[in-house]
Amino acid sequence: MPADHTPTLPTVAIIGAGSSGIAAAKALHERGLEFDCFEASDRVGGNWVFDNKNGMSAAYRDLHINTSRDRMQFSDFPMPRSLPDFPHHTQIAQYFDDYVDHFGFRDRIRFETAVAHAQQREDGTWRVTDGDGRTREYDMLVVANGHHWDKRWPEPSFPGSETFEGTQLHAHDYRDNAFLTAKDVVVLGMGNSAMDIAVESSYVARTTHLAARRGAWIVPKYLFGKPLDQISTLPHVPHWLNARISETIIRLHTGRPERYGLPRPDHRFGAAHPTVSGRILDRIIHGTITPRPNIAQLGPDWVQFADGTRVHADVVIYCTGYRIAFPFFDEDFLSAPGNRIELFRRVFKPGHPSLAFVGLLQPIGAIMPLAEAQGQWIAQYLRGEYHLPSPRAMDAEIRRESRRMRRRYVASDRHTIQVDFDTYRFDLRRERRRGAARAAAAGHTLPVPARVRVEEAAPA
């Protein structure tokens, strides 16, 4: 490449223009970095685009956010005050669309261009191939492909599920309750998909059974006249103390879950991803949802539960969560078996300085402001204003963090990327200050050398 064309800063490919990808794109745009953001769909917003043509959205017709408006909004682009505390998915999708226009980087997004393959070369640069076989090269790859689209089915499947003559579907494919009218429905799971879908079913189905292998502490969306997630926890107060206070408040407010016939949680409050529902307990005490233990087996038109009870069933909806997947990486390069992926502060992979992830975390609180902070961190890094610790130090921190998480959370594939919203932001700010001092001491060299230009793709 001729010297006068050599860029001064590294060039970047971002995979995904959901809320995480656009947060990263905005940060790079603002800091003068050259990038292409690849988006499989014709729109930004990912999961929040109902019936998204990428086939990856889990949004159902009546989906409202369960993290409140003020927790979810980006720091420099408040959601309109005219929106409710828990807006509808259409309002959230509109907000993300407006964000891109407000900050003016829509032209950096390559719509309807899915990344089929991303390959790192020996020198650390990336060769990105789209679905039409066209390739482009970049210095850095930022992955923001979302982690709520690859359905996790019960494994192994329940005995007899192959003989069931009704409909079995995963929550990801649920759109609305019309097809449940006058049906006998079994909903499996105790996460937020199960709560919402069981409630929706309860208005139209003949019967709705909510089956679960484990109990959960169910928290309302509102407490003390405000959204629950706006009652802040303090980063320096130990987690166990925050959790005990919250558990006491929930027990005073709603009582123990088993009082509603739900399974008794096998863990203390705070040891599982929060199950948020202002409606489920109401529907249970109205007799429109019947709590059940786990599914034991299925027959042609029935479901039997672990306690031996059996009900007639037309539909079984598996709200059993999602797998983390990167179909564009060679599996021997990087995958996430059992949803496990070891990253420094959930962004950098030690030993791979030209690779970063955004939004690959499951906060107690909303993902968006954390993705925003991650994007700013990556921009700071790419400009040589932040230097990472050594791979050894990062590995040690990753091990410490995963020990902490293992001690704290119920062992489940859904608890592999958990973070606390306030603590994560606090730790990240501190880390960015430390890394800025390291960068200054090293003379602000670029951790990712600027080698390739953003240019038109080579044909297939």
Ligand X SMILES: Cc1cc2nc3c(=O)[nH]c(=O)nc-3n(C[C@H](O)[C@H](O)[C@H](O)COP(=O)(O)OP(=O)(O)OC[C@H]3O[C@@H](n4cnc5c(N)ncnc54)[C@H](O)[C@@H]3O)c2cc1C
Ligand Y SMILES: NC(=O)c1ccc[n+]([C@@H]2O[C@H](COP(=O)([O-])OP(=O)(O)OC[C@H]3O[C@@H](n4cnc5c(N)ncnc54)[C@H](OP(=O)(O)O)[C@@H]3O)[C@@H](O)[C@H]2O)c1
Summarize as ranges the residues that interact with ligand Y (CB under 6 A). Answer: 63-66, 148, 154, 171, 188-194, 196, 213-214, 273, 294, 319-322, 362, 412, 414
374 binds ligand X (CB under 6 A): no
Residue count, binding to ligand X (CB under 6 A):
34
47 binds ligand X (CB under 6 A): yes
Q: In the chain, helix, strand, coil percent, each to 5? A: 30, 20, 45
Exposed e or buried b per residue across 217-246, where buried means at least 16 C-beta atoms within 10 angstroms of its C-beta: bbbbbebeeebbbbeebebeeebeebbeeb
Measured from the CB atom, is 356 or 366 closer to ligand Y? 366
418 binds ligand X (CB under 6 A): no
The total of other beta-carbon atoms located within 10 Å of residue 434's CB is 13
Give the binding range for ligand X (CB under 6 A) out of 35-43, 77-85, 154-162, 417-425.
Answer: 35-43
Q: Are strands 184-188 and 140-143 parallel, antiparallel or unpaired?
A: unpaired
Phi, psi of 417 (to 5 degrees): -130, 30
CB of residue 142 to ligand Y, shortest distance in Å: 21
Contact, 246 vs 271, CB < 8 A?
Answer: no
- Tell me which of ligand X, ligand Y, none is bound by residue 13, counting a contact when its beta carbon lies within the kind-specific cut-off of 5 to 8 angstroms: none
Tokens of 352: 């791979």
Measured from the CB atom, is 218 or 366 closer to ligand X? 366
Measured from the CB atom, is 192 or 290 closer to ligand X? 192
Taking CA 155 as the corner, what is the angle to CA 280 and CA 266, rounded to the nearest 5 degrees?
45
- The Cα 290–Cα 205 span in angstroms is 12
Contact, 134 vs 457, CB < 8 A?
Answer: yes
- The Cα 50–Cα 434 span in angstroms is 41
Residue nearest to ligand Y (CB): 191
Q: Map the footprint of ligand X across residues 123-152, applying CB under 6 A.
A: 144-146, 148-149
Measured from the CB atom, is 293 or 353 closer to ligand Y? 293
Among 93, 100, 115, 197, binds ligand X (CB under 6 A): 115
46 binds ligand X (CB under 6 A): yes
Which element (helix H / strand E) includes 109? strand 109-110
Tokens of 392: 């050894």
Coil, helix or strand at residue 274: coil
361 binds ligand X (CB under 6 A): no
CB of residue 146 to ligand X, shortest distance in Å: 2
Binding interface with ligand X (CB under 6 A): 15-21, 38-41, 46-48, 54, 56, 58, 63, 65-67, 72, 114-115, 144-146, 148-149, 193, 328, 359, 366-367
